[in-house]
Structure 1
Amino acid sequence: MLLHVPQVLTAEALERCRTLLTTAEWADGRVTAGSQSGQVKNNRQLPENSAAAREAGALVLDGLNKSPMFLTGALPKKIYPPLFNRYDGDANAFGNHIDNAMRHSAQSGQWIRTDLSATLFLANPDEYDGGELIVEDTFGTQSIKLPAGDLILYPSSSVHRVEAVTRGARLASFFWIESMIRDDAQRRLLFNLDMSILAIREKDGDTAPAVQLTGCYHNLLRMWADA
């Protein structure tokens, strides 16, 4: 499932993140790359333990926790502490790769299985040329370039890349999610069911069928969840 989650960050949180990233010191992005992806990765990244990364990461996590669509779509069990990257100048692209299946967080000391990958855009599309996130999976090849503050969620098993930035700077946060629902098809079914229930409740209220469908949702979640 490919899911666009709008306005994860408030205007104030977005402005603060952009300020932190504008004044931060950047490092070679290959520091978090695997053996294959390191060969095609050419960008810059905030050091994970820098003060700027920690403050901006807390803002991102706060936004995620307040986003019903993100929580419903991801059903997160663990979230890797958000990282931040920059594409511009000579460090401007990331070739085709698949994310590592497991990630170890230096901040939490935990291993996280990467069921879902997320990119939260922090620069508006008119601020840079190129920089599209290209995701290839069963849903076809998708080219993604979202407004600042919006997030794209996609399976970590997808082949993806970032096209070269030819003008301006592409700023983003990226991270991975271990979901309570490991299987993408099950997660998509639960998301569609939940969205349908919300639409029915908004139109007709808490009718008996709405309550029954809600029960089906939670019983499926109870059956499939690894919490």
Structure 2
Amino acid sequence: MLLHIPQVLNAAQVAEIRQYLDSTEHWKNGRHSAGAQAQKIKNNLQLDVNTEQYRDISNAILQALKQQLLIQSAALPKHILRPLINCYQDAGNYGNHVDNAIQTCSDTGQLIRTDVSLTLFLSNPEEYEGGELVIEDHYGTHEVKLDAGDAILYPATSLHRVEPVTSGKRLAAFTWMQSMIKDDWQRNTMFNLDMTIIKLRQQLGDSEEVLSLTNHYHNLLRQWGEL
């Protein structure tokens, strides 16, 4: 499931983050955080995580993600890793790859299974040429280029890439989540059921039928969920 999450950050929040990112020199070669295979195809910059400013920015983004009801419904996150920040410019790109199945939480050292990936755009589409996030799944190939503050949520099992940025600068945050439901089909089923319950509740209130569907939702969560 690919899901567009609008306005994870509002314009003021994006502007505050951009004020720092557009002026800082605390960038490192993105290959330093990649595995041996990914290093050959990764050509970008990543914000140094050993700065107070990175900590402040990642905290703000992490809190915004946790407050997004659509993310909570679609991803059913058990853990959300602290977001990283990257920059693509001067033909920077990242070839086809699949994210590592296991990541280490920088705050606790805990190993996290990456079920869901998220990219949060911090540059508007008109600020750069190229730089599309291209995601391949069972239904084909999808090119994603969203407004600053918007995010795309997609299965971490997906083959994906970032096309070369031929002009301008593409800034984004990215992270991974371990879901309470690791199977993408089951997770998608729960999301669709939740959205249906919300719509029916708006139309019918807490009717007997809505309460019955809600009961089924929670019973499925008990059956499929891992804590």
Aligned residue pairs: how many? 226
| 1:23-102 equivalent positions in 2, closer than 5 A | 23-24=23-24, 25-90=26-91, 92-102=92-102
| 1:1-227 equivalent positions in 2, closer than 5 A | 1-24=1-24, 25-90=26-91, 92-227=92-227
Deviation at 1:18? Answer: 1.2
Report sequence identity in percent. Answer: 49
Kept in 2, the 8 Å contact 1:134–1:163? The answer is yes
Kept in 2, the 8 Å contact 1:36–1:97? The answer is no
Normalized against structure 1, the TM-score is what?
Answer: 0.96
Deviation at 1:140? Answer: 1.2
Structure 1, residues 73-113: CA drift from partner, whole Å, max 9, x if none?
111111111000000025x1000111111111333211111
Deviation at 1:17? Answer: 1.5
Amino acid of the residue matched to residue 45 of structure 2? R
Amino acid of the residue matched to residue 114 of structure 2? T
Normalized against structure 2, the TM-score is what?
Answer: 0.96
Deviation at 1:41? Answer: 0.1
In the aligned structure 2, how far is the partner of 1:75 from the partner of 1:50?
Answer: 30
Kept in 1, the 8 Å contact 2:82–2:106? The answer is no
Deviation at 1:52? Answer: 2.0
Runs of 4+ in 1 over 6 A off after TM superposition: none
In the aligned structure 1, how far is the partner of 2:51 from the partner of 2:139?
Answer: 37
Deviation at 1:204? Answer: 1.8
In the aligned structure 1, how far is the partner of 2:112 from the partner of 2:20?
Answer: 27
Amino acid of the residue matched to residue 85 of structure 2? F
Q: 5+ unaligned residues in a row in structure 2: which ranges?
A: none
Deviation at 1:48? Answer: 2.0
The secondary structure found in structure 1 opposite 2:22 is helix
Once the two structures are overlaid, the 10-residue window that deviates more, 31-40 or 126-135, is 31-40
The secondary structure found in structure 2 opposite 1:95 is strand
Once the two structures are overlaid, the 10-residue window that deviates more, 203-212 or 161-170, is 203-212
Amino acid of the residue matched to residue 46 of structure 2? Q
In the aligned structure 2, how far is the partner of 1:54 from the partner of 1:127?
Answer: 25
Kept in 2, the 8 Å contact 1:49–1:107? The answer is no
Once the two structures are overlaid, the 10-residue window that deviates more, 71-80 or 98-107, is 98-107
In the aligned structure 1, how far is the partner of 2:22 from the partner of 2:108?
Answer: 26
In the aligned structure 2, how far is the partner of 1:171 from the partner of 1:44?
Answer: 10
In the aligned structure 2, how far is the partner of 1:49 from the partner of 1:101?
Answer: 24
Amino acid of the residue matched to residue 71 of structure 1? Q
